[in-house]
Amino acid sequence: MTIHKWSDRRAKMSPEMQERIARRTEEHLVEMNLSELRRATGMRLISDNDLPIGVMNTCATCGVQFALHKDVETVWRGSHKAFVCPNGHSLAWSDKTPQEKELDALRARVKELEAQLVETKQKLEQESVKNTNLATRLELWEPSK
Ligand SMILES: [Zn+2]
């Protein structure tokens, strides 16, 4: 048995035959029930129920919706790495993660406390000098012996 490539066989057909085949294919595709097609190909429509741990995202450029596993999204959000939507648009999460925001807040708090510490040390030094001066004056006016 000889196997012929469909494209080769189609090329040898008359234009009328090619057109008839194309029209019939078109008709069959229209008649095919989408759910039958999915069943036949093993494809399923992803619903929210199918993705209890998935997160739906929308491409800001083309608006296509796509799902990412929650863990993948968490890592990608944290790394701010670039990725592409199903239509190939480059995307990246530039927003800070809750952990990054908390870290920023804690860093700001540490800076604030360090500034307070410097100020307090300066005040303490000033008070210490005042105390020494007062003690010296008191010693002059009322010697302890
Ligand atoms: Zn896109």
- 32-64 pLDDT, tens digit per residue, is 676 676 676 666 555 555 555 577 889 999 999
Counts of helices then strands in the chain (DSSP H, E):
5, 4
d(CA 145, CA 133): 19
- 85-105 pLDDT, tens digit per residue, is 999 999 998 888 888 899 999
Task: Give residue 78 CA to ligand 1 midpoint distance, Å.
Answer: 21
Task: Give residue 87 CA to ligand 1 midpoint distance, Å.
Answer: 5
Region of poorest pLDDT, from 49-53, 81-85, 116-120, 137-141: 49-53
pLDDT-based confidence at residue 69 (cuts at 50, 70, 90): confident
Phi/psi at 142 (nearest 5 deg)? Answer: -130, 80
What mean pLDDT comes out for the span 110-128?
97
| Length in residues, the chain | 145
What mean pLDDT comes out for the span 114-136?
96
For residue 77, the model assigns a pLDDT of: 87
CA 63 to chain centre: 16
By the CB criterion, residues less than 5 angstroms from ion ligand 1 are: 59, 61-62, 85, 87, 89
What mean pLDDT comes out for the span 124-131?
96
Record the pTM. 0.42
Task: Give residue 101 CA to ligand 1 midpoint distance, Å.
Answer: 28
